[in-house]
Homo-oligomer: A and B are copies of this chain.
């Protein structure tokens, strides 16, 4: 992936695979004086689907930023039935952090944010507890405690949505947020909510995966970062990693060992999202690296 500091456009595409697609796209860019900085493509030959990520320098590009999507769709996209997304490297995404009491993913993301590794704006942190308010305050990030019960869930989620809109949030990261979001909420943010689950999905979905891993006697535990969908822990997987354990590791050991996995897997997923490195197609991700 290019960590371009240039003023670049990034196009993510998928469409039915046909001859001529690559040339149609590269010619569109070249003929309008765009210099290609990065190109990666993938063909899912079983499904007959073409995927591409292409990035080009906008410095001398003949088409104005706000017109590129329209021109591309008219001149190229419509011809090949493309589904496309256009992003600009200069636009910093605005991220909301949801957290409960467990702090490891939360602190880890904030440390990356503070040292400039995470190229986003974090205008708001939302939690169902006040435990981590101090950390938000230290960094000057707005903190909202919105506690959730079975009874108030609907109205509290409305409050959350209002906050997300007010702060023009582009995507949400659930850093071990211990509440299941309602289907309504999830539907409003398709491929915009990133969760970290503390197991190697699809093994051990739902609650207490380390207990289940211990009971089953697995020799490896994992963590999975995925986009949240209506079905619990079944959304498109962005990143996974694992670590070996043994009979000597109690559930508590797994919890401790797993924390290091969780924070790294989540951080990698957020990075992919922020860099527009990934596409979702039929509940699977294509991650260009």
Chain A residues at the B interface, C-beta cutoff of 8 Å: 1-3, 19-20, 22-23, 26-27, 29-30, 35-46, 51, 103-104, 107-108, 111, 114-115, 117, 138, 200-204, 215-220, 222, 236-242, 244, 246-248, 250-253, 256, 259-260, 264, 267, 283-287, 289
Instruction: Please name 19 pairs of A and B residues whose Cβ atoms are closer than 8 Å in the assembled complex, sorted by A.
Output: A19-B35, A20-B30, A22-B30, A22-B39, A23-B30, A38-B43, A39-B41, A40-B41, A44-B247, A103-B115, A117-B256, A117-B259, A202-B203, A202-B216, A216-B237, A217-B284, A218-B237, A220-B222, A247-B286
* Residues from chain B with Cβ under 8 Å of A218 in the complex: 201-202, 237, 240
* Residues from chain B with Cβ under 8 Å of A22 in the complex: 26, 30, 36, 39
Name, among A202, A251, A285, the residue most crowded by chain B CB atoms within 10 Å (CB to CB). Answer: A202
**Interface pair B247/A284, CB less than 8 Å apart:** yes
What residue in chain B is nearest A241 (Cβ atoms)? B220
Name, among A20, A241, A248, A284, the residue most crowded by chain B CB atoms within 10 Å (CB to CB). Answer: A248
What residue in chain B is nearest A226 (Cβ atoms)? B217
Bound Cα distance from A125 to B131, whole angstroms: 26
Which one, B2, B23, B43, B138, contacts A27 given CB within 8 A? B23
Which one, B138, B200, B240, contacts A138 given CB within 8 A? B138
Other than the given A42-B248, A51-B247, A220-B240, 14 more pairs (CB < 8 A) read A3-B252, A39-B39, A40-B40, A45-B250, A46-B250, A103-B111, A104-B115, A111-B111, A215-B284, A217-B236, A218-B240, A246-B289, A248-B289, A264-B264
> With contacts A22-B36, A218-B237 known, is A111 near B117, CB below 8 A?
no
